[in-house]
Structure 1
Amino acid sequence: MFNESDFLADLASIPPDPPFMRNVCNECHRPSTVCYCSSLPNPRLCPHSRIILLQHPAEEKRCLRTATMLQLSLEANKCLTFKGKRFPGRHDELNEILTEANTLLLYPSPSAVDITEIVKDSVHSSYNIVIIDGTWPQAKAIYTASPILHSIKQIKILDIDISRYIIRTQPADGCLSTLETAALTLSLLEKNGIYKNELLKPLQTMCEYQIQNGAVSHQSKEFRIKNNSYPKLIGKRLNKVLRNADSMRNS
């Protein structure tokens, strides 16, 4: 039964002003208090090669994704992003890129060659570097569902640093974020360490801000397992990822 007094009481409890909303940066879309734009290269970097991101739709929902940092750090035509679960899909421009002779796919398949071999025997002045942006299961699913990727020359990076994305737990010591992967690849292909140094600055800034505001530094799952500090049982999928990472380092 409708009760007028209860209805009026509910209306009276509604705050007269809208809830407080934090100011958000128009560039990185992070709250202004943790904006990393001051650490972005200025002017943006313009390498000879360009990065082609094949981004899983779920990546857009991640609040701490690094692909945005890459897009804001490079000239617009040097970092192209295509979203989907199967490629090229409806992206006509992408179909042309994927079939060009100077296109390389960064993917650790059995046929992938060390990127240093490409640098040593380079026959092109620039490359299209295709990187699948997503978790390892997402990347594997995209690769499996996109036959055109199987025909692209595939490369891998053997000499990998420990990830600087310290506020996120990586499966293994050799796993890098999208930004770190692109930075290291460009540094090697362009033979210029500025790409690694400058592209990683916003990531370092973001991690420092997060830690100052309560986040903690994370070791990889592989590190914690080896040091008996991983709190969970190791599932089949994680065990397979760790075996693959170990195999890559020893190949």
Structure 2
Amino acid sequence: MDLEHEAFSDLCGLPTDPPDMRINCDQCQRPLKVCYCSSLPDPRLSPRSKIILLQHPAEEKRCLRTAPMLQLGLQPGKCLVFKGKRFPGLHDELISILQASNTLLLYPSPNSEPLNEIISETVPLSRYNIVIIDGTWPQAKAIYTSSPILHNIRQIKLLNNNTSDYIIRTQPADGCLSTLETGAQCLSMLEGDQTYVDKLLAPLKLMCQYQLENGAVSHQSKEFLIKNNSYPKLIGKRLNKVLKDAERLKEQQKS
């Protein structure tokens, strides 16, 4: 009985209220201690063109995403997000966007054209809808394959040799950029204004700084680690294919 009484007393001493939860920012939904809203463009940027994100559902579960930074850095309606694994899916309003003559799809196919070449052949500061598939490379490829409407859109590519500023996340290959960086680069080229990159990437750099100050480490790409015999795992078929696709993309960009 004494043991039962002691156990019951221990249970009675437990707090009845749930533990205090971290308070999140109403805007970026990040904990207040690591909120990046102070670095967002103020006022929000208002480009002539729009970014259209086709987001894989799994991307929303990631805690360190860059798509929200793009939305918060641009005026409402300048960055539209549609979620799904195939498109247009349930998004009826997306059909007219995907069928518009000024819509361009950022996708590394053999038919994709450098964005800077398209800009040079059109009226300066023309308005475009830039469609970006938001997800990992296998997810993006699956979305493209299962969405025939995307196959009819003029496809573009970025000729990029820069290293991603998203240094707390391992990229599959050198030259790969986050969704935010990709959108910022496109808008910067279309607007003829480098400040789009500078202002839109500021919250990403601040978030990475927060993470590095709290135990995160700077990451090199998987391609870099493998080339320098530093990758800690065996290379599986899936990663090997991703790296081959990345090499193929680089060759396309050179041509």
Q: TM-score, normalised by structure 1?
A: 0.95
Does residue 1:110 correspond to 2:110, yes or no? Answer: yes
**Which aligned pairs between 1:131-210 and structure 2 lie closer than 5 A?**
131-210=132-211
Partner of 2:14: 14
1:87 counterpart residue number:
87
Code of the residue aligned with 2:122 in structure 1: it is: S
Structure 1 window deviating more from structure 2 (61-70 vs 6-15): it is 6-15
**Which has the higher mean CA deviation after the structures are superposed, 176-185 or 4-13?**
4-13
Distance verdict in 2 for CA 1:43–1:231, change over 3 Å: same
Percent identity of the aligned residues? 67
> What's the secondary structure of 1:154's corresponding residue?
strand
2:102–2:128: 8 Å Cα contact kept in structure 1?
yes
Equivalents in 1 of 2:93, 2:140: separation in Å? 21
1:54 paired to 2:75: no
Give 1:103 shift: 0.2
Partners in 1 of 2:162 and 2:246 — Cα distance? 13
- Comparing 237-246 and 85-94, the one that deviates more: 237-246
Aligned-residue offset at 1:90 = 1.5
**Structure 1, 112-121 or 147-156: larger mean CA deviation:** 112-121
Cα offset, 1:188, TM superposition:
1.0
Which amino acid in structure 2 is aligned with residue 231 of structure 1? Answer: P
* CA offsets 1:165-221 (integer angstroms, 9 cap, x no match): 000000001111100100111111111101111110000000000000110000000
Aligned equivalents of 1:27 and 1:246: distance in 2? 38
Separation in 2, partners of 1:132, 1:155: 12
- Provide the TM-score with structure 2 as the length reference: 0.93
SS at match of 1:200: helix
Q: Deviations over 1:23-59 (max 9, x none)?
A: 2111111011000000000000000000000011111
Alignment correspondent of 2:68: 68
Unpaired stretches in structure 2, ≥5 consecutive residues: none
Kept after mapping to 2: 8 A contact 1:167/1:217: yes
In 1: Cα distance, 2:216 partner to 2:162 partner: 22
Instruction: Tell me the secondary structure at the aligned position of residue 109 of structure 2.
Output: coil
Unaligned segments of structure 1, at least 5 residues? none
Root-mean-square deviation (Å): 1.6
Q: Which residue matches 1:97?
A: 97
Question: 1:33 is matched with which residue?
Answer: 33
- Alignment partners' CA distance in 2, 1:178 and 1:68: 10
Residue deviations 1:124-163 (CA, integer Å, cap 9, x gap): 8200000000111111111011000000000011223111
SS of the counterpart of 2:77?
A: helix
Task: Find the aligned partners of 1:118 and 1:194 in 2 and give their Cα distance.
Answer: 21
Structure 2: distance between partners of 1:91 and 1:10: 54
CA distance in 1, matches of 2:119, 2:10: 69
| Count of residues in correspondence between the two structures | 249
Query: Contact 2:126/2:190 (CA < 8 Å) preserved in 1?
Result: no
8 Å contact 1:158–1:248 — kept in the other structure? no
